[in-house]
Amino acid sequence: MTNDVLRVHGGLPLHGEIRVRGAKNLVSKAMVATLLGESPSILYDVPRIRDVDVVRGLLELHGVKISDGPDGEIIFDPANVESAGVDEINVHAGSSRIPILLCGPLLHRLGHAFIPDLGGCHIGDRPIDFHLEALRQFGAIVDKTPEGLHLTAPNGLHGTKFQLPYPSVGATEQVLLTAVRAQGVTELRNAAVEPEIIDLICALQKMGAIIKVSTDRVIEIEGVPTLRGYSHRPIPDRLEAASWACAALVTHGDITVRGARQVDMMTFLNVFSSIGGAFEVDDSPGGGIRFWHPGGDLRAVALETDVHPGFMTDWQQPLVVALTQAQGLSIVHETVYERRLGYTSALNSMGATIQVYRECLGGTPCRFGRRNFEHSAVIAGPSKLHAADLVIPDLRGGFSHLIAALAAEGTSHVYGVDLINRGYEDFEKKLAALGANAVRT
């Protein structure tokens, strides 16, 4: 058994090349979609991360036969989808948010579904009210019990008109995965339109789904009675790519991220440039984006996180580490999750000067402004970071702790690093390839 602690000798610039694979936040949903097909699906370039293992385990429990091909290829055969026991499913309770997305596909295949208590990162309340309301509107009956959710659809699932109170990624996926085989037409308003959602729509279209994405966040889905399997190469992981870009900046390094695509990262690249980072896009096959610190001072910025095409909430944490090195006062207003700045106290213990506020700083008021959440941060820089002992709080906050330790002077101990495997494939090997001095103790 490995020890869950990394000893990091900071202060070395990270230099070299790494590669990102299919986006975690698409791959896990595309895996769920395989349940809807009558024939096998093939997904390419799947990263070896824990979230993939969790969904794989859940699908196998429900009778999907899964086999591995070369280089991240996975084949899913849903010919014998069957019910799984509550106790077996409960083994996965608390380990991921993805199980909630099995509702629609299982209702279509089996007429009933059991979903255990959900997990995922603790970055806010993360309710599932939009999901349940949508499922009810399709005709599902939801019975909440202490062990989880039991769902049935005695009269089948029927197309509906539904307006999301907020463009939630998960709830949009819930509606898509349910509507594609529901009877009739579904119109979803105020839908999320993140690139991962558009890629899920592409996979569903390959299966035979009819989905129209209109302007103003409206998606119309014409239900079809059967779907086939897909063969799909996912979009690259733009969250991982941005994390490594920030690692290059904060360590004064130079990292080429093979597989990263400009089109998915335009908003990030604007901010990266405006604070003084340099990048170069190679859009030939097998290309990527090179990110580096060009020397000189980094500049402060004011930004808020938002749904696509805004600045992603998952880009925020590594960027804040870079902003500790920028000249002047930066403002970051987190508008997607109410508790996604907790990781900053550890950065302060390393010498950063970050003050969090309950107010909506920087202009636009958001949903959290009147609800007493510390969701705005002012970062004063540049600060010299020094080593500390850190405990990883969640996936993205954890990666930001790690890159702060890599930039800091001295030896840090980072506890709970296994959590990073949830979303970053082979991150220790990648660190080694980039010349970092980080070893398990």
Contacts with ligand EPZ by CB under 6 A lie at: 24-25, 28, 97, 121, 124-131, 166, 168-171, 192, 194, 239, 313-314, 336-337, 395-396, 423
**Shortest CB 276 distance to ligand EPZ, Å:** 26
* Pick 25 or 190: Cβ nearer ligand EPZ: 25
* Pick 187 or 194: Cβ nearer ligand EPZ: 194
* Pick 284 or 372: Cβ nearer ligand EPZ: 372
Number of other residues whose CB lies within 10 A of the CB of residue 333: 25
**Shortest CB 24 distance to ligand EPZ, Å:** 6
Q: Is 425 helix (H, G, I), strand (E, B) or coil?
A: coil
* Pick 59 or 192: Cβ nearer ligand EPZ: 192
Distance set, CA 167 to CA 99, 177, 217, 218, 306 (Å): 20, 16, 8, 11, 10
**Shortest CB 113 distance to ligand EPZ, Å:** 17
**Shortest CB 166 distance to ligand EPZ, Å:** 5
Q: Nearest-CB residue to ligand EPZ?
A: 170
* Pick 34 or 313: Cβ nearer ligand EPZ: 313
Those residues with Cβ within 8 angstroms of residue 7's Cβ, 6 or more apart along the chain or in another chain:
411, 412, 413, 438, 439, 440, 441
Q: Which helix (H) or strand (E) holds 297?
A: none
Number of other residues whose CB lies within 10 A of the CB of residue 186: 25
- Asked about 360 being catalytic, the answer comes back as no
The answer to whether 205 and 180 are in contact (CB under 8 A) is no
Those residues with Cβ within 8 angstroms of residue 44's Cβ, 6 or more apart along the chain or in another chain:
22, 71, 72, 73, 231, 232, 233, 234
Biggest distance spanned by C-alpha atoms of the chain: 66
Nearest to 183 by CA among 247, 226, 128: 226
Cα distance between residue 80 and residue 110, in whole Å: 11
The sign one gets for the Cα dihedral 271, 396, 189, 185 is positive
**Shortest CB 28 distance to ligand EPZ, Å:** 6
**Shortest CB 328 distance to ligand EPZ, Å:** 28
The answer to whether 154 and 141 are in contact (CB under 8 A) is yes
Those residues with Cβ within 8 angstroms of residue 70's Cβ, 6 or more apart along the chain or in another chain:
none
Catalytic residue among 103, 121, 202, 366: 121
In degrees, rounded to 5, the angle at the alpha carbon of residue 11 between the alpha carbons of residues 6 and 12 is: 90
* Pick 193 or 331: Cβ nearer ligand EPZ: 193
Cα distance between residue 332 and residue 311, in whole Å: 11
* Pick 219 or 298: Cβ nearer ligand EPZ: 219
DSSP H helical segments within 154-298, as ranges? 169-179, 195-206, 238-250, 266-274
**Shortest CB 77 distance to ligand EPZ, Å:** 24
**Residues noted as catalytic:** 121
